[in-house]
């Protein structure tokens, strides 16, 4: 079993960047979801509300991000704003201290998305903890939904697409926006993992990922694209179907469908590389 894909998403909900290697930090892969868009009051939003976010391209250059809108407009964004203001922002149940990019940067994103918004960055000094039910005491996360990394299994996607059946409705892996993708595993083997090792890094596997509507958004066009894969996932990937005896222990809300699994690094600092061996250390 090997690591076959690595992705980061520097600005939450914008287009991802494929990598050949990445540094694993406590809050996730380096530069992953360290930036986020919010409304002027500090409330986050994602492709769930604004699917066109998927069409904004992000590149990492020397000390800055380079973003490009669907219309081809470009902007360079320094890793930290020159004259940023501090503001507490909200991402799900977390209130997070952030630094706001005032002026040109936030105006560019407002124009690109057609709604008043601002770009914020999470200071390195701020610790946003994962769900306390799965926090070992020092487990922190970026602006990601809940956990430092998301892993997906190539074989699980293949089985999902086989169940979808219609060739035109098949979905690519980017619909699920994973950080890491593994090959060589059995379909949905990840459901049973509790600790794994990738390269030199050991990860705890706290819970599978409950999916929202984002996998129904075409990540190339930024448009909703029918009911798949959610419709097919609902036929066999409800929490009660996957974990009939223990689903309540994961604190799912009831109507979720599951695909992929969350990861928490236990020994951050090493580099993961495409081709790294993936070893299962502990299962349910």
136 within a domain of the structure (yes/no)? yes
CB contact at 8 A, 270 and 201 = yes
Say if residue 81 is in the same domain as residue 187: no
pLDDT digits (tens, 9 = 90+) for 50-89: 999 999 999 999 999 999 999 999 999 999 998 889 999 9
| Distance between CA atoms of residues 110 and 41, nearest Å | 14
28 within a domain of the structure (yes/no)? no
Say if residue 111 is in the same domain as residue 161: no
Query: What string of DSSP letters covers 184-195?
Result: SSPTTGGGGEEE
pLDDT digits (tens, 9 = 90+) for 101-125: 999 999 999 999 999 999 999 999 9
Average of per-residue pLDDT across 126-131: 96
27 within a domain of the structure (yes/no)? no
State the total domains in the chain: 2
Say if residue 159 is in the same domain as residue 245: yes
25 within a domain of the structure (yes/no)? no
Say if residue 256 is in the same domain as residue 206: yes
249 within a domain of the structure (yes/no)? yes
Say if residue 104 is in the same domain as residue 224: no
Say if residue 159 is in the same domain as residue 92: no
Say if residue 141 is in the same domain as residue 112: no
26 within a domain of the structure (yes/no)? no
Question: What pLDDT does 182 receive?
Answer: 98
Where is the domain boundary, 82, 101, 121?
121
Question: What pLDDT does 183 receive?
Answer: 98
* pTM, to two decimals: 0.97
CATH classification of the domain holding 248: 2.40.33
Q: Which domain holds residue 113?
A: 33-121
CB contact at 8 A, 152 and 173 = yes
18 within a domain of the structure (yes/no)? no
Question: What pLDDT does 133 receive?
Answer: 93
pLDDT digits (tens, 9 = 90+) for 155-199: 999 999 999 999 999 999 999 999 999 999 999 999 999 999 999
Q: Which long-range contacts (CB under 8 A, 24 or more apart) does 215-220 make?
A: 215/171, 215/175, 215/176, 215/259, 216/175, 217/47, 217/51, 217/54, 217/175, 218/54, 219/15, 219/16, 219/54, 219/172, 219/174, 219/175, 219/177, 220/54, 220/55
pLDDT digits (tens, 9 = 90+) for 221-256: 999 999 999 999 999 999 999 999 998 899 887 679
Say if residue 166 is in the same domain as residue 261: yes
Question: What pLDDT does 255 receive?
Answer: 79
pLDDT digits (tens, 9 = 90+) for 253-279: 767 999 999 999 999 999 999 999 999
44 within a domain of the structure (yes/no)? yes
Say if residue 242 is in the same domain as residue 135: yes
For residue 111, report the phi and psi dihedrals to the nearest 5 degrees. -70, -40
Say if residue 188 is in the same domain as residue 116: no
Say if residue 84 is in the same domain as residue 158: no
Where is the domain boundary, 121, 149, 172?
121
Where is the domain boundary, 121, 155, 184?
121
Say if residue 274 is in the same domain as residue 153: yes
């Amino acid at each position: 079993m090997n690591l076959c894909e690595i992705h980061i998403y520097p600005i939450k909900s914008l287009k991802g960047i494929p990598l050949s290697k990445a540094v694993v930090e406590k809050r996730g892969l380096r530069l992953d979801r360290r930036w986020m868009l919010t409304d002027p009051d500090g409330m986050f939003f994602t492709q769930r509300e604004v699917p066109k976010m998927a069409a904004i391209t992000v590149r990492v250059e020397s000390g800055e991000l380079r973003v490009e809108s669907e219309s081809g407009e470009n902007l360079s964004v320094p890793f930290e704003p020159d004259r940023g203001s501090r503001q507490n922002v909200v991402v799900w149940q977390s209130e997070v201290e952030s630094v706001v990019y005032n002026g040109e940067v936030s105006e560019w994103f407002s124009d690109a998305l057609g709604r008043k918004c601002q770009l914020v960055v999470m200071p390195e000094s701020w610790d946003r903890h994962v769900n306390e039910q799965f926090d070992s005491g020092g487990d922190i996360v970026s602006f990601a939904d809940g956990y430092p990394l998301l892993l997906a299994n190539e074989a699980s996607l293949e089985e999902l697409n086989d169940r979808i059946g219609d060739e035109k409705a098949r979905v690519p892996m980017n619909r699920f926006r994973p950080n890491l993708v593994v090959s060589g595993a059995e379909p949905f083997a990840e459901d049973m993992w509790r600790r794994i090792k990738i390269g030199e890094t050991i990860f705890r596997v706290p819970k599978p990922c409950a999916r929202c509507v984002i996998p129904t958004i075409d990540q190339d066009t930024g448009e909703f694209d029918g009911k798949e894969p959610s419709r097919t996932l609902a036929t066999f990937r409800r929490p009660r179907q996957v974990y009939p005896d223990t689903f309540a222990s994961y604190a799912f809300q009831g109507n979720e469908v599951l695909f992929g699994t969350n990861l928490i690094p236990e020994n951050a600092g090493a580099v993961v590389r495409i081709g790294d061996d993936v070893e299962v250390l502990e299962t349910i």
